[in-house]
A and B are shown apart, each in its own frame.
Chain A
């Protein structure tokens, strides 16, 4: 979500650009449990693969503008488990998703009603590792209604829940999200509360939930703050994601944060937990996520399928040489 401030001011805030030195975390594997690849390019996939991202979760979200009919929800959900999963596989990255009706669009009640009817068909599909991202945006009554209905659905399906917490009035929104999840009898260990900050993290962890942090420029968290949080709270039940989407965001947020953690002296073990292992542990509760699939993805698709496939046109090679001025 981009802010309303002008580009000029942002530039001033950005300071001098600093190159991302991947060498600090060379050879490490990363899992980005929240990234909206639908809004990203194939170049991003390539950069993520190069930086060590081996798997990701794409939560169902909105499209930057509201959808006006059921079919566009259906098409979007289908693309998350179809085209987007395939596109990711072309870069050796295992793509999972969570499926849900996002909070903003819960406010269009007549449409939300229809979406609820098709959700059961999608949440049982292969590689759907949770119901998400759901929760509050404006904290309206309609948002609460569909949040509750979807928590119920997740409970029936035995799936983890990925909860989006609001930008505005975040602390109360986060508390309310957790209260309601507990009211519906969900085990906090199956609920991932996202977009945390210094103000929310303690309560989320104390109550037994997973605390996810979104490293997102200008809003949400910066990764220097993230380093301090892990120093203070440890690595248990904490995970880092990029939530990269249509806004000014960074699909390399997870490996970059790992690199920064390394430079700031965090242990390899803690870095691995917050940028890889914890997300796997949390979402594997769906029964739809298996670490062995990451390697299978690398082997199968890079060697056998790369050539025959179709983000690649006939004869095109899977990778272009970006440093060359000649494009052939």
Chain B
């Protein structure tokens, strides 16, 4: 489905770049596109780009914003022009040959400063041959730099569409650890899995042991997989009497088929009431 939109999205990105940079910068980029040794020049152009484009927030017109939004790329409106231009530069870069593409773009990751790294990971959904960037994306999740992690974790469709389960689970777990906005992880519900649920439960137990709160979004990833073992842990969580945590657990249980847990929730009158009123949902946490 996304493929249908991709062409339109790329066209909008191209015209947005054009509308947001000077004639001089446009000419500089055009010279690069026309050059015969693009691969050799890519690194320098990529690095120098903010000096030519500036770093102001992009302006996107309403019609184009609607198309972007419908295709799941509405978040681009929050980017700066250097970030968008870098993504555009990479998105248009297809040498046809997979290996050559990889050997041209991969070194950019190796020497990237923060803003470059953010642009590189933001570009992942737009790069040709998505399968060759899987390892690179998994490596990015190991970063300790907040804005780089955000570029991978938040509003980025690439990870959920391409990562294997272990790398995906690592992304989600690290997002909790580094307190990213879990709501912005694309494909979160679709890629929920038992392994991840069990790991998150362990993580919740560590938090409890340290006397710390648990991000309520964690329970969203657990609901579907409730079994006897998980149920025992949920009971512990409910007994902590943290109202937000309790409500999140109740919502998770309401989305499971595990009857003993449902029955147990009903022994808490205020949780039973909150569920029956139907105004608990994951956006409310």
Contact = CB atoms under 8 A, between A and B. Distances in A.
A287 B54 CA distance: 12
A310 B146 contact: yes
A308 B212 contact: no
B56 interface: no
Interface residues of B, number: 29
Contact of B111 (A78, A287, A308): A78
Interface stretch (A30-38, A120-128, A185-193, A231-239): A120-128
A309 interface: yes
Given A124-B47, A125-B47, A287-B51, A310 B149 contact: yes
A178 B89 CA distance: 42
A125 B146 contact: no
A311 interface: yes
B44 A124 contact: yes
Contacts of B116: 125
A67 interface: no
Interface stretch (B7-15, B29-37, B172-180, B243-251): B172-180
Contact of A83 (B110, B145, B180, B213): B145
B127 to A, nearest CB: 21
Contact of A78 (B43, B110, B147): B110
Contact of B179 (A85, A86, A125, A314): A314
- In this complex, which of A81, A125, A311 has the most chain B Cβ atoms within 10 angstroms of its Cβ? A125
B177 A83 contact: no
A92 to B, nearest CB: 14
A83 B113 CA distance: 8
Contacts of A305: 146-147
Q: Determine the main DSSP class of B at the interface with A.
A: helix
B47 A307 contact: no
A213 to B, nearest CB: 29
B112 A124 contact: no
A77 interface: yes
B145 A310 contact: yes
A313 interface: yes
A225 interface: no
A328 to B, nearest CB: 8
A96 B43 CA distance: 21
A310 B210 CA distance: 18
A305 B144 CA distance: 13
Interface in B125-160: 144-147, 149-150
B146 A81 contact: no
Given A82-B112, A82-B117, A121 B47 contact: yes
A287 B179 CA distance: 35
A85 B147 CA distance: 12
A137 B47 CA distance: 31
A262 to B, nearest CB: 36
A145 interface: no
Interface in A287-317: 287, 305, 307-311, 313-315
B179 A308 contact: yes
B237 to A, nearest CB: 17
A157 B212 CA distance: 51
A127 B115 CA distance: 11
Given A82-B117, A86-B146, A120-B44, A314 B176 contact: yes
B274 interface: no
B207 interface: yes
B48 interface: yes
27 contacts: A74-B111, A82-B112, A82-B113, A82-B117, A83-B144, A83-B145, A86-B114, A86-B146, A86-B147, A120-B44, A122-B111, A124-B47, A125-B47, A125-B113, A125-B116, A126-B113, A308-B178, A308-B180, A310-B144, A310-B145, A310-B146, A310-B149, A314-B177, A314-B179, A314-B212, A315-B207, A315-B210
Q: Which 8 A-B pairs give the minimum distances between C-beta atoms? A: A81-B113, A309-B146, A310-B144, A308-B179, A86-B145, A315-B212, A124-B48, A314-B177
